[in-house]
Amino acid sequence: MKLLNMTAWGYLLGCLFFLGLFVLAAGFTLTTSQLLFIYGFIGVSQLHYGWGVLWQMYNAVNGQYSGTFLIAVIISWVLLGCYTIANSIKKWVKQGIAHEGLEFFCHGLLLLDGLANWVSLSGVPWYWQAIFTLVIFIALGHFGKISIGLAHMAILEFF
């Protein structure tokens, strides 16, 4: 193991940076999606971000949620999954691995989540709404893949 390899440390720091941005965007989109399903359209003043949203699937499996809130948690995590596979679906359809209906379904859910993000930021000017909605889409669609690639490169450089 080569611990003094600065290239590997650079890859590792890049991985942690992009992973942090991915987790931050994931927490925001999970929160806005759940609030959309539970309360309908709400403004930015009612949005309270918390890191506990990242442990919700663990809590759901252990029976801490029920009813409408449980359905909102499950649907919001499905939306997050759609974000992470959005880049790969076109390749899967071309290769015959996935059906075209999955692409339509995934893009429909992404539109719904983009709408939830847009409406949740309704207390700010429209250009900030557009920027944040686009940044969340880019962060969730690409930064997870970039982070995994950088982690792979760091492991290869360290060993």
Condensed to tens digits (0 to 9), the pLDDT of residues 45-97 reads: 777 778 888 889 899 999 999 999 899 999 889 888 888 887 778 788 888 88
Q: How confident is the model at residue 12 (pLDDT cuts 50, 70, 90)?
A: very high
What value does the mean pLDDT take over residues 20-31? 91
Q: What is the pLDDT of residue 135?
A: 92
Cβ neighbours of residue 8 closer than 8 Å, sequence gap 6 or more: 2, 153, 154, 157, 158
Of residues 127 and 87, more confidence is placed in 127
The residue whose two tokens read 């759901």 is 60
Domain boundaries, the chain: 6-158
* pLDDT for 153: 94
Provide the mean pLDDT of the chain.
87
For residue 127, the model assigns a pLDDT of 92
Q: State yes or no: pLDDT of 19 exceeds 90.
A: yes
As a whole-number percent, the residues of the chain with pLDDT over 90 amount to 28
pLDDT at 18: 95
C-beta of residue 21 within 8 angstroms of C-beta of residue 143:
yes
Q: What is the pLDDT of residue 13?
A: 95
Q: Is the pLDDT of residue 41 over 80?
A: no
